[in-house]
Copies of this chain bind each other. A is one copy, B any other.
């Protein structure tokens, strides 16, 4: 009753328009969805009736009949991370062209929320799913796949070969990061991780280790700090770093935010970047252009990632391709900026001591 009030102003159905135009509902429907199927004269008559009545089709009824929702679900681990916001822009730009809408599933870093979105997808509220998260469990994705839902994984290839993926070359870039630091003369390395358990983190760490090996260093010489993809992880890493005696001089962070957190914290203790410690980030978020010093990092083609991912999903939905035989791996760009530099002293800690 109270709800009724909200819908009381306009309640025009297709039948009303049909009556107004003196035609059948079928004709009205055709005018609105199959242009060219009706005679010009009738068409105009109907359009006039639509205009006059202010009729807007009920999309729910349409969806029920056509079995198409014209909506896709995008599951992201966290919205406040600019990386996802940027990818989302790409997705949005692409989907809009096909007339599709987006429902955002924000996990907010809480994995237990996944179930909700699996349900949502399985109850046929969407025509497809775009996974920006790296750790949806094989279970959920399997359910969706078996439910017959097109899925595309962005950001990280899910451990499920039947799902097409569009990802960046995380591993290659991470390897390159070490190589770059080594070229600058660094010999002791630190790694600030991303969300433990996420595939992205896994890939980046793996690339880092490969780089260490390739540069001829021993695995046990590296320091690894764990934490999610947030500023605080970098701060915590810095605390640990500051307490060390034999500090690494080349730090690779699995995301820009933790790199920035790290730098902020160590600079507060008068440690200079890059003279005392070099830091290289990952992602290339816009913030990284405005930190001081400007962060050296890998720029992800985020917008492109979103566009390509959405495009693949559209093809899947339209049945223009089969799942499983489609994988894209986009390259990253190393932005050489001001938080990395050559090693100046073998042991700057002793230098600092004398300076104090």
Contacts and interface: CB of A to CB of B under 8 A. Distances in A.
Interface in A277-295: 286-287, 289-292
A318 interface: yes
Contact of A5 (B85, B264, B290, B319): B319
A68 B3 contact: yes
B148 A7 contact: yes
Which of A58, A68, A290, A318 has the most chain B CB atoms inside 10 A of its CB?
Answer: A290
A89 B85 contact: no
Contacts of A6: 148-150, 317, 319
A261 interface: yes
Interface in A35-75: 56-61, 63-64, 67-69, 71
Nearest to A79: B85
A98 interface: no
Interface string A287-311: 1011110000000000000000000
A33 interface: no
A106 B125 contact: no
A2 to B, nearest CB: 3
Interface in A190-239: 231
Interface stretch (A18-26, A116-124, A157-165, A244-252): A116-124
Contact of A106 (B2, B58, B88, B148): B88
A285 B88 CA distance: 20
B318 A59 contact: no
Number of copies: 2
A164 to B, nearest CB: 14
A123 B3 contact: no
A175 to B, nearest CB: 28
Contacts of A89: 79-80, 106, 108
Interface in A113-156: 116, 119-120, 122-125, 146-150
A82 interface: yes
A346 interface: no
